[in-house]
Structure 1
Amino acid sequence: MDIGTLRGIGTLVVFVAFCGLLFWVFSSKRKSQFEDAANLPFGDEGSVSKPDTKEHSEQ
């Protein structure tokens, strides 16, 4: 097996992985999950808890 064959196999593996990723990203089953993730920055900011600064300042 020479270097050209190895490069060809590597290219084929990367191409198959890329095609699999495309099918996964554009799958209609995942659309609602991706829409939820896209709206996370616009969520309620009041539910974010802030760390207790007293514990960290004593150390």
Structure 2
Amino acid sequence: MTGGIITLALLLLFVGGWAFIWRPSHKAMFDAAARLPLEDDAEEPRQ
């Protein structure tokens, strides 16, 4: 019984995360995060 509850909870968590990621209103946020590794640093690295 407990295994079924845990499975259901994980399934709901997965579906909720999937719905959050695929919302069109979050596209700009994810596009900005995808460009972060390609941007140059504005200042010199500190040593």
TM-score (norm 2): 0.87
Segments ≥4 residues shifted beyond 3 Å: none
Residues 3-23 of structure 1, C-alpha deviations (whole Å, 9 max, x = no match): xx1000000000000000000
Say what the alpha-carbon RMSD is for the aligned residues: 1.2
**Looking at CA atoms only, which structure, 1 or 2, has the larger radius of gyration?**
1
Cα deviation 1:3-51 (Å, max 9, x = unaligned): xx10000000000000000001111110000000101112123x14321
| Contiguous gaps of at least 5 residues in structure 1 | 54-59
Report what 1:35 is aligned to: 31
TM-score, scaled to structure 1: 0.71
Identity of counterpart residues, as a percentage?
A: 28
Q: How many residues align?
A: 47
Relative contact order (C-alpha < 8 Å, sep 6+): which is higher? 2
Tell me if 1:16 matches 2:16.
Answer: no
